[in-house]
Chains A and B, each alone.
Chain A
Amino acid sequence: DAGITQSPRHKVTETGTPVTLRCHQTENHRYMYWYRQDPGHGLRLIHYSYGVKDTDKGEVSDGYSVSRSKTEDFLLTLESATSSQTSVYFCAISREGSGSRETQYFGPGTRLLVL
């Protein structure tokens, strides 16, 4: 599982409040990702990072921001949570390399409920 942890694992919050989710990895991978998983939509990329302070938007980035000040940590912030952001959030890393080495590893997920 490439040593990926997510915190918190579950969170209930109210509309309009800020929320920060944390992803931590222990293997020093350059690429880190935040996805959300929703029924009927599968897994959608929110933001990803390719190094400290280097981030880019994914398919569904509106309402989300990210930061990566250390290689091992990738934070996802919902500036003002809305009910449409109720979802399961997965962090992932990508093991780079040609051929057999490349793959993604996923964290256990964070279940977020916005009331």
Chain B
Amino acid sequence: AQSVAQPEDQVNVAEGNPLTVKCTYSVSGNPYLFWYVQYPNRGLQFLLKYITGDNLVKGSYGFEAEFNKSQTSFHLKKPSALVSDSALYFCAVRGPTSGTYKYIFGTGTRLKVLA
């Protein structure tokens, strides 16, 4: 069965510092991996995804994520955090089974960027 883990409930970082939000996954075969962001009282918004190819994926709002197959990780990163990045971040995985668009989400990590 596919699963994702977000080991940190909350990450605090000072504005201007680099940030990392961690995600590890478990899936048979090659994974499809996603990051979503949720602002207060809103639905989730797509940030970026890894399907295949380059291990460093660039997404919206200056975010990027690094896929590491040996460590089964897909950590979200940003070189310089903004206060407006404060939100809830979700990692998600979809198994590669052909034709099955079924996604499993992590428990979420709350990012707080301090001014």
* Chain A residues within 8 Å of B, Cβ to Cβ: 1, 4, 31, 33, 35, 40-45, 48, 50, 56, 58-59, 90, 92, 94, 96, 98-99, 102-109
How distant is the Cα of A98 from the Cα of B49 in the complex, in angstroms? 12
Task: Determine if A104 and B103 form an interchain contact, defined as CB atoms under 8 angstroms apart.
Answer: yes
Residue of B nearest to A41 (CB): B107
Task: Determine if B102 and A45 form an interchain contact, defined as CB atoms under 8 angstroms apart.
Answer: yes
- CB contacts (< 8 Å) of B32 on chain A: these are 102
Residue of B nearest to A93 (CB): B101
Among A4, A40, A42, A48, point to the contact of B105 (Cβ < 8 A): A42
B43 at interface, CB cutoff 8 A: yes
Which 8 residue pairs are nearest across A and B when measured between Cβ atoms? A106-B43, A42-B107, A43-B105, A106-B44, A42-B108, A94-B101, A103-B46, A31-B101
- CB contacts (< 8 Å) of A33 on chain B: these are 103
Most buried by B among A44, A90, A104: A104
Among B36, B102, B104, B107, point to the contact of A40 (Cβ < 8 A): B107
* Chain B residues within 8 Å of A, Cβ to Cβ: 6, 32, 34, 36, 41-46, 49, 51, 90, 92, 101-108
- CB contacts (< 8 Å) of B104 on chain A: these are 45, 59
Task: Determine if A108 and B42 form an interchain contact, defined as CB atoms under 8 angstroms apart.
Answer: yes
Task: Determine if A90 and B44 form an interchain contact, defined as CB atoms under 8 angstroms apart.
Answer: yes
How distant is the Cα of A35 from the Cα of B103 in the complex, in angstroms? 10
Among A42, A56, A107, point to the contact of B43 (Cβ < 8 A): A107
How distant is the Cα of A105 from the Cα of B46 in the complex, in angstroms? 7
Residue of B nearest to A107 (CB): B43
B50 to chain A, nearest CB (A): 11
- CB contacts (< 8 Å) of B36 on chain A: these are 104, 106
